[in-house]
């Protein structure tokens, strides 16, 4: 076990804080969900996220995070992650990931969901399904003290069934009083992480980005945030915040109205 991870182990009081942050973040996504449809701009989604969070006395973590200009990320079609809300209008046939992170009483909840806008292509539906199923499969196999590489094995197994690829340059992460902290959580089995164990009390995200084509991404040279697939093919993502307990993993960002494991898109 890498000794320093103990420093991120949460006691019961802190776990309750993370549960509250995750719960609020899930409610925020439930609030936003019905508005994510054709004809809406991603700026309008951003405003809903911002105002709902502020109105409830909390903070949208992305706003001003390393200079990020908006309160959530909206990643359309070939955008892998970190898309910036803008005046772009969601169109029938698009897929869009909305990634929301809240700071509640100092603690972070982080999650995302990919939405199908109207009638989408078969491959758009498949890549969305693949990402959703791979996230759930990777949570399913976790136990206290699992190696973080188990997550990558579970995700790659699902991606291979579809012939899709798993993004390597962006990974899940520990979180708590910080937005991003150890451990890194790769979505592919990186042998260097074999000895990193998910000990009870650790909070982290799993957020597999699945590409229809090549796994590589390119950062937009103008905005320095938007990451697109190198081949322009589609990418989809889902994310949950997980607390490892002595009993196993607990999903802190499960929504009451969103897709559940087994959901068919």
Residues interacting with Co ion, by CB under 5 A? 99, 110, 112, 205, 239
CA quadruple 155, 160, 162, 167: dihedral, nearest 10: 60
Place of tokens 């709902």: 52
Shortest distance in whole angstroms from residue 121 CB to ligand MF3 = 26
Q: Confirm or reject binding of residue 110 to ligand MF3 (CB under 6 A).
A: yes
| Closest by CA position to 240, among listed 162, 151, 124, 150 | 151
What angle (nearest 5°) sits at the alpha carbon of residue 112, between those of residues 145 and 194? 25
Does residue 184 touch ligand MF3 according to CB under 6 A? no
Chosen from Co ion, ligand MF3, none, partner binding at 107 (C-beta under 5 to 8 Å by type): none
What stretch of H or E contains 107? strand 107-116
Helix axes 149-162, 122-140, angle to 10 degrees: 150
- How many CB atoms are closer than 10 A to CB 222? 7
79 binds ligand MF3 (CB under 6 A): no
Q: Among 32, 46, 62, 265, which residue interacts with ligand MF3 (rule: CB under 6 A)? A: 62
27 binds ligand MF3, rule: CB under 6 A: no
| Residue 82 contact partner, candidates ligand MF3, Co ion, none, CB within 5 to 8 A by sort of partner | ligand MF3
Beta strands 181-185 and 172-174: pairing type? antiparallel
Question: By CB under 6 A, which span of 19-27, 60-68, 155-163, 192-200 interacts with ligand MF3?
Answer: 60-68
| 176 counts as binding ligand MF3 under rule CB under 6 A | no
Residues 6+ apart with CB under 8 A from 16: none
- Using CB under 6 A as the criterion, what x/- string covers residues 196-215 for binding ligand MF3? ---------x-x--------
Q: Is 99 in the site for ligand MF3 (CB under 6 A)?
A: yes
Size of the residue set binding ligand MF3 (CB under 6 A) = 12
Number of H helices, E strands in the chain: 4, 17
The residues binding ligand MF3 (CB under 6 A) are 62, 65-66, 68, 73, 82, 99, 101, 110, 205, 207, 239
């Amino acid at each position: 076990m890498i000794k320093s991870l103990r420093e991120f182990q949460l006691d019961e009081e802190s776990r309750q804080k993370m549960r509250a942050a995750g719960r609020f973040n899930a409610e925020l996504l439930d609030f936003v969900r019905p508005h994510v449809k054709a004809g809406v701009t991603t700026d309008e989604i951003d405003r809903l996220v911002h105002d709902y969070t502020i109105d409830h006395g909390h903070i949208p973590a992305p706003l001003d995070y390393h200079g990020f200009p908006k309160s959530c990320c909206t990643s359309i079609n070939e955008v892998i992650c970190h898309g910036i809300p803008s005046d772009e209008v969601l169109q029938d046939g698009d897929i869009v990931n909305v990634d929301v992170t809240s700071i509640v009483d100092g603690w972070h909840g982080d999650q995302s969901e990919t939405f199908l806008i109207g009638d989408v292509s078969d491959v758009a539906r498949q890549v969305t399904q693949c990402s959703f199923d791979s996230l759930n499969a990777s949570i399913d196999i976790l136990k206290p003290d699992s190696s973080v590489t188990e997550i990558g094995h579970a995700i790659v197994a699902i991606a291979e069934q579809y012939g899709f690829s798993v993004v390597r340059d962006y990974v899940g992460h520990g979180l708590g009083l910080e937005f991003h902290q150890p451990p890194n959580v790769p979505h592919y089995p990186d042998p260097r992480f074999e000895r990193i164990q998910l000990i009870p009390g650790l909070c982290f995200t799993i957020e597999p980005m699945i590409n229809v084509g090549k796994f590589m991404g390119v950062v937009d040279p103008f905005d320095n945030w938007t990451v697109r697939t190198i081949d322009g093919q589609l990418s989809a993502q889902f994310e949950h915040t997980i607390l490892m307990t002595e009993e196993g993993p607990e999903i802190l960002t499960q929504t009451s109205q969103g897709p559940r494991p087994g959901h068919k898109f």
